[in-house]
Structure 1
Amino acid sequence: MTDPLIDVREVRKAYDEGPPALDGLTLQVRPGEALAVLGPSGSGKSTLLNMIAGLDRPTTGSVSVDGLRVDALNETASAKYRRSRIGMVFQFFNLLDDLTVTDNVLLPAQLSGTAPAKAAARAAELLAQLGIDRHAHAYPGRLSGGERQRVAVARALMNRPPLLLADEPTGALDTASGTDVRNLLRELNTAGQTIVLVTHDLALAESCATRTIELVDGRIARDVRAVAR
């Protein structure tokens, strides 16, 4: 059996007051899975995503991604990990409005020191693949919500990360744009991209996730694999 791409073991995250955000959580995600993380506010969804992204550290337990102990990295190594091994998509896109679509997509490659010609070719490939190449020289403010989220996905995939993390990727979109992004994530997973997404959007989980977990009080209350699509 394939080794897990994500291996979270007995992770507990406690803050100064109140119950822990994560309470002894163990989770493995294998390459090619699309995992949807559901649960009420305060259940630990965002904390789990931040652990996987190396943005937060567990109080106890371990987090490994692609064979790397993420929780043991210093700040410099953690930033390098995020540049090379994960792509991140956010609810409100986090695009830079004073840069064109192409320049937004190029940012991860520039930060990683990729040769300009190689980076430009990769950006053009992604924009064409995601159906937004006609907007290459436009600015994000002139695009629809669905188009801006496609730009954000292209940026996240720029360095060919083995893992794509998405935090409420349809949360700020209208119905049509939300459907557009759901279809896009499903297509990416079908092509082999491993995805972990935190969402309240049940339609998103049902349409593109191959597996769904529900968190309650920092623990996995339900873990369901989808019928083969």
Structure 2
Amino acid sequence: MTAPIIQIRDVSKKYDVGRPALAGLNLEVNAGEALAVLGPSGSGKSTLLNMIAGLDKPTEGTVTVDGVRIDDRTEAELARYRRERIGMVFQFFNLLDDLTVEDNVLLPAQLAGMGRGESRQRATELLQYLGIARHTRAFPGRLSGGERQRVAVARAMMNRPALLLADEPTGALDRRSAADVRELLIELNEKSQTIVLVTHDTELAEYCATRTIELVDGKIVRDVQAAV
């Protein structure tokens, strides 16, 4: 039996003051799932996503992603882990405005040492697949919010990550653009991409997720599989 792609065991995250951000959390996510993480502000959603991305470390417990235990890795090892195994999409895109669309998408491949020819072919394929090939030479500031988020998804998918992490991916978009991103996430998951998305958007979770968990005070209070 294949091991889950994410295994979080007895994870707590405590800061200097206040209650823990995560409190003895256990979670397993299988390859091919699209997991939505819901919860009020301060519930631990972003902390959980940061744990999976290797951007934060637990005070207690272990985090294993794609067969790699990441809670005990060095910063250099974690940077390599993110380059090789993780794609990230953010609410405000995090694109570099002084680079073209193509160069933004190529950046992860360059950091990973992918060959120039291979990386350009991969970027071209992604931009065509995502319907933004006509903007290859444009700068992000000239694009709509929905188009910029598609560029961000292309960049996140550049190195064929085992796991796509999305932090409020529709939070900065108008209703039409948000609907486009929802459809894109559904399509990616239908092609077996594993996705973890943190959101306040219950409509996004309802349409995109194969499974939804809800956090309150750093604990999972609801874990529901989508109806088939």
Give the TM bin, normalised by the shorter chain. Answer: over 0.9
Which residue number corresponds to residue 132 of structure 1? 132
Alignment partner, residue 218 of structure 1 = 218
Query: Which residue is equivalent to 2:155?
Result: 155
> 1:206 & 1:2 partners in 2: Cα distance?
27
- What is aligned with 1:24? 24
Matches within 5 A, 1:32-51: 32-51=32-51
Mind listing any 5+ residue stretches in structure 2 that lack a counterpart? none
Question: Match of 1:12, SS?
Answer: strand
The yes-or-no answer on 1:70 pairing with 2:66 is no
Cα RMSD for the two superposed structures: 0.5
- Deviation at 1:143? 0.5
What displacement does 1:72 show?
1.0
Q: Which residue of 2 aligns with 1:227?
A: 227
Q: By how many angstroms is 1:209 displaced?
A: 0.3
Deviations along 1:109-163, whole A, 9 cap, x unmatched? 0001100000000000000111111111111011110000000000000000010
- Superposed CA deviations along residues 147-195 of structure 1, whole A, max 9, x for unmatched, are 0000000000000001000000000000000000000000000010000
Q: Any residues of structure 2 matched to 1:2-151 within 5 Å, and which?
A: 2-151=2-151
* Equivalent position amino acid for 1:50 in 2: N
Q: How many Å apart are 1:2 and its aligned residue? A: 2.8
Q: Distance between the aligned counterparts of 1:202 and 1:134, measured in 2?
A: 32
User: Structure 2 length normalisation: TM-score?
Assistant: 0.99
Distance (Å, rounded) in 2 between the aligned partners of 1:73 and 1:165: 20
Q: Partners in 2 of 1:207 and 1:149 — Cα distance? A: 18
DSSP-derived class of the 1:121 partner: helix
Amino acid at match of 1:170: T
SS at match of 2:88: strand
SS in 1 for 2:154: helix
Between the aligned partners of 1:131 and 1:31, the Cα distance in structure 2 is 26
Amino acid at match of 1:145: G
